[in-house]
């Protein structure tokens, strides 16, 4: 059993595995009172005046205490991060890392203005948005009740946030940054007079291109689901 679980764990693509694991360990550390949320949240003043640089990372790793909200956020993170990494970014790990860095930097800059303390949920919405725009014909079956095409998913999640009484600022932030990346990467270069503005630094290619050679035998998550273009989702808040 342990060997099977270990094998399954290492079948997860490297970036998704690293990020998801970091989120789970961070939440576990808070639950065990090793650290507190106040030591993790995004605070520009403390980052600048006290050099608490770790907050630039930890604010993307904590989704709240163990419970319903954490469970759905971690499921969405794992699912859509993995499907992007094994789908449109398959064999392009450096480009995938660059997309995450681009999204992280822009979300952080917007987070200063929006006064958002934890940025991970916006990051997940960004991933969902990019995936949904790249799979416009995929149908989503939401809670077994609603059926719609994938590009509506981020907006439906925002609607659930509103119904649950949560702020939709985080959702709008993730959608906005996701659309920025989608437009700059997939739309603008294909327009008349357009050109590619987002270019992955050579350093990322040097670091990550060697990992792509180890991923050739991995079965993508989408193919593991009986080859059906169907998803069954739940709310993330």
Q: What pLDDT, in 10s, does the model give residues 40-99? A: 999 999 999 999 999 999 999 999 888 888 898 999 999 999 999 999 999 999 999 999
Please report, for the chain, the start and end positions of each structural domain, with discontinuous segments joined by +.
Answer: 1-225
Tell me the whole-structure pTM to 2 decimals: 0.87
Q: Could you report the per-residue pLDDT of 151-208, keeping only the tens digit for each?
A: 999 999 898 888 877 889 999 999 999 999 999 999 999 998 889 999 999 999 998 8
Answer yes or no: are the C-beta atoms of 148 and 140 closer than 8 Å. Answer: yes
Q: Could you report the per-residue pLDDT of 12-42, keeping only the tens digit for each?
A: 999 999 999 999 999 999 999 999 999 999 9
Answer yes or no: are the C-beta atoms of 106 and 221 closer than 8 Å. Answer: no
Q: In which band, very low, low, confident or very high, does the pLDDT at 140 lie, cut at 50, 70 and 90?
A: confident
The CATH number of 1-225, from 3.40.50.150, 3.90.1150.10, 1.10.260.40, 1.20.1540.10, is: 1.20.1540.10
pLDDT of residue 229: 41
pLDDT of residue 56: 96
User: What sections of the chain are H helices per DSSP?
Assistant: 2-11, 14-31, 44-49, 55-58, 68-86, 93-114, 120-134, 153-163, 169-182, 202-212, 221-224
Q: In which band, very low, low, confident or very high, does the pLDDT at 218 lie, cut at 50, 70 and 90?
A: low
pLDDT of residue 161: 85
Q: What is the CA radius of gyration of the chain?
A: 18
DSSP string spanning 25-42? HHHHHHHTTSS-GGGTS-
pLDDT of residue 55: 95
pLDDT of residue 44: 94
Give dist(CA 183, CA 129) in Å, integer: 12
pLDDT of residue 97: 96
For the cut 50, the answer to whether the pLDDT of residue 141 exceeds it is yes
Which SS3 state, helix, strand or coil, does residue 136 take?
Answer: coil
Of 123, 121, 102, the closest CA to residue 184 belongs to 102
- Chain centroid offset of residue 9 CA: 18
Q: Could you report the per-residue pLDDT of 226-235, keeping only the tens digit for each?
A: 433 444 454 4
């Amino acid at each position: 059993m342990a060997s099977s679980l270990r094998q399954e764990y290492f079948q997860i693509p490297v970036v998704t595995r690293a990020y998801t694991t970091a989120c789970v360990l961070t939440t576990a550390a808070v639950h065990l009172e090793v650290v507190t949320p106040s030591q993790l949240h995004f605070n520009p003043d403390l980052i600048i005046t006290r050099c608490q640089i770790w907050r630039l990372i930890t604010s993307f790793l904590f989704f709240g205490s163990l419970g319903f909200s954490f469970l759905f956020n971690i499921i969405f993170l794992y699912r859509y991060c993995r499907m992007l990494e094994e789908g449109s970014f398959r064999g392009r790990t450096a480009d995938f890392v660059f997309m995450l860095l681009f999204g992280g930097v822009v979300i952080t800059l917007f987070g200063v203005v929006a006064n958002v303390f934890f940025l991970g949920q916006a990051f997940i919405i960004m991933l969902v948005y990019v995936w949904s725009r790249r799979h416009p014909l995929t149908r989503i079956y939401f809670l077994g009740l609603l059926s719609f095409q994938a590009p509506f998913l981020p907006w439906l999640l925002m609607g659930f946030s509103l119904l649950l009484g949560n702020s939709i600022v985080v959702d709008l932030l993730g959608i906005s940054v996701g659309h920025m990346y989608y437009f700059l990467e997939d739309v603008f270069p294909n327009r008349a007079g357009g050109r590619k503005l987002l270019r992955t630094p050579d350093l990322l290619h040097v670091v990550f291109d060697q990992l792509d050679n180890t991923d050739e035998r991995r079965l993508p998550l989408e193919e593991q689901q009986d080859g059906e273009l169907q998803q069954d989702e739940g709310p993330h808040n």
